[in-house]
Amino acid sequence: MKKILVVDDEKNFLLSLADMLKANENDFSVETAGNGKEASDIIDSKKINLVVTDLNMPEMDGFELIAHISQVDPGIPVIAMTAYGTPEMESRLNNMGAFQYIEKPIDFDSLLGMINEGLKKGSTRGHVAGIALTSFMQLLELDNKTCTLHIKSAKGTGDMFFNQGELLTARTGELTGQNAAFEIINWDNPEIVIENTCKVKIEDRDIEVPMGFLLIESARMKDEMSKPAAPDDEKNTSEAAADSQAEKDAAEFIEEEDLEFSANAAELDTSTLDPEATRQPVKETAPLDLLTNAILNAKGVSRMIIISGSGSVLRHNNIPVKEFGSFVAAATGVAVKIKKILGFTGPRHIVVNHSNGEKILIIIGAQIVVGIGLDVDTDPEPISNILKPSVAGIRLQ
């Protein structure tokens, strides 16, 4: 029988939760631990199929426990509980890879659903349901954790330094800063050791881009590296072109067969621009979620929407979906019409000034369009430059 481990330093809560879960004893058995140290001893001595853990505990907290799991059995799915959630967390956590994240007070039905799903995935052959460094980094960011990560893999060792959830710098070999972070994030099956102090001063920070950008760019770079190497003659030709295919997509604007917005804004189908709209199947779910986090983590962003070429809402945050989405779609349709009439490559992004001073940044990719509301004093150019390659590279279905 499968066995789950529940970890929390609040004894009454732990006993109550364990009692409720024991009603499902035909599906799994329940072990309990009062802190991370007790839990790690259990994991070292018994076969555990899933862990539900609080993050803030004495002696050994949930982050340290998760790091320990990454060393001894990284395939164990983890559900993290915290009482320090924020209202926007749900919209930012559609997909955190290995981790599920639930806020206290616990909704028992939601937790039970997560447990059953985690056990199911963990038993699926070939599915890695356990610790992923990218997920762990997002968890540190969401909980404003200050720490140093010591990371080891078959490719090397490295360190990442976090202050209040922000990555200040990274180091591996002769690499430092952003390049080191890209290298470390792309390591397979890393072991994580966490030290609950940041060994770098804030003034020595050399990574200024949002966490989401680092993660999505790392995913793109890993995908590029996994592609078969081109023959030397093709390689020389592609090097002369300078830009990646994703960047070319952005520079050349959009082709009508890739993005099917009507050129006439009045003909746009906005029926799917609704908060409950059914999402289209997405082949690269993780890149789309990482793009969402990159947008929401950018300074000055007040709201956002991501829509497909056919008008389906893929992601949204803090907006009147139909009105904002319709505007983004209409502006894109006008741009398509101008391109069609004049035959030019078009702008790489569109910036519209609202009457209240807010700026609306629209970035058009091959198969998606992103609309971002920016605060009055926010410069859209740096945000656009960071996001354009990722937006251009997203592929649906």
Q: Same structural domain for residues 171 and 100?
A: no
- Contact at 8 Å (CB) between 64 and 36? yes
| pLDDT bracket for residue 340 (50, 70, 90) | low
The pLDDT of residue 127: 35
**Which of 101-115, 128-142, 162-176, 291-305 is the least confident region?**
128-142
Q: Same structural domain for residues 131 and 172?
A: no
The neighbouring-strand residues paired with 155 are none
| pLDDT bracket for residue 241 (50, 70, 90) | very low
| pLDDT bracket for residue 204 (50, 70, 90) | very high
Say if residue 252's pLDDT is above 60: no
- For residue 58, say if its preceding peptide bond is cis, omega within 30 degrees of 0: no
Q: Same structural domain for residues 372 and 257?
A: yes
The pLDDT of residue 150: 95
- For residue 87, say if its preceding peptide bond is cis, omega within 30 degrees of 0: no
Domain assignment present for 239? no
Domain assignment present for 95? yes
Q: Same structural domain for residues 264 and 186?
A: no
Which of 18, 57, 16, 11 lies closest to 37, judged by CA? 57
Q: Same structural domain for residues 251 and 389?
A: yes
In the chain, how many domains are there? 3
**More confidently predicted of 303 and 246:** 303
For range 379-383, the mean pLDDT: 85
Q: Same structural domain for residues 277 and 384?
A: yes
Say if residue 69's pLDDT is above 60: yes
| pLDDT bracket for residue 366 (50, 70, 90) | confident
Spell out the residues 6+ positions from residue 320 whose beta carbon is closer than 8 angstroms to its own: none
Say if residue 284's pLDDT is above 80: no
In whole angstroms, what is the distance from residue 270 CA to residue 261 CA? 11
Q: Same structural domain for residues 158 and 204?
A: yes
Q: Same structural domain for residues 111 and 188?
A: no
**More confidently predicted of 85 and 274:** 85
Q: What is the pTM of this model?
A: 0.59
Say if residue 342's pLDDT is above 80: no
**How many residues appear in the chain?**
397
Q: Residue 204 is part of which domain span?
A: 146-208
Query: What value does the mean pLDDT of the chain take?
Result: 76
